[in-house]
Amino acid sequence: MPDMREWVELSSQGIQGLAVLIIVVSIIFGSLRYVAHLSKQVAHAYSVYKELLGRSLLLALELLVAADVIRTVLLDLTAKGMEILGALVVVRTFLSWSLVVELEGHWPWQTSALAVQGQPARWAMSVPARSAAPEAIKVNGANVDPL
């Protein structure tokens, strides 16, 4: 029967596996949806694709940081382990900020200031509104979104 140390290691590996699964599934799903949007000539197909992949990567990075924290704090609480954790968190935080800037067009801490000024985030402007989508299809008298 696994002891507590093994359970912590397994849970950390499970969280890492979930992060990898999120990345793989979103690449596959996003790519298929992107190809479908291109074939239907949907406006802003690339922006939607890029946003999906970016948001998925952000979520996966958060999960990877959580797995590293669990493993380090519960299994390797040494100075060297904490240094490695600190370096990993710094690198992954930088990657997260870079993704946010790419998706939203501003630094994460500028969101509230822009909201006060009434400026929407860049990603909100690049993705078409629902009303800009292709015409709705009528099925049994009800409108159905073709996407």
Burial of 72 (0-12, 13-18, 19+ CB in 10 A): buried
25, 38, 52 from 34: Cα distances, Å: 14, 6, 10
| Predicted pLDDT at 106 | 76
| Predicted pLDDT at 81 | 86
15, 53, 56 from 103: Cα distances, Å: 25, 10, 12
Overall domain count for the chain: 1
Q: Report the distance separating Cα 15 and Cα 62, nearest Å.
A: 10
Evaluate if residue 41 carries a pLDDT over 60. yes
Q: Report the distance separating Cα 110 and Cα 123, nearest Å.
A: 14
| Predicted pLDDT at 128 | 44
| Predicted pLDDT at 23 | 96
pLDDT, tens digit, 9 for 90 and up, residues 71-108: 888 888 888 888 988 999 899 888 888 888 888 887 77
pLDDT, tens digit, 9 for 90 and up, residues 43-71: 899 999 999 999 999 999 999 999 999 98
Evaluate if residue 16 carries a pLDDT over 50. yes
Closest CA to 145 of 2, 40, 68, 32: 40
**Domain range spanning residue 135?**
4-144
pTM over 0.85: no
pLDDT, tens digit, 9 for 90 and up, residues 105-145: 877 777 777 777 776 555 444 444 444 444 555 554 555 45
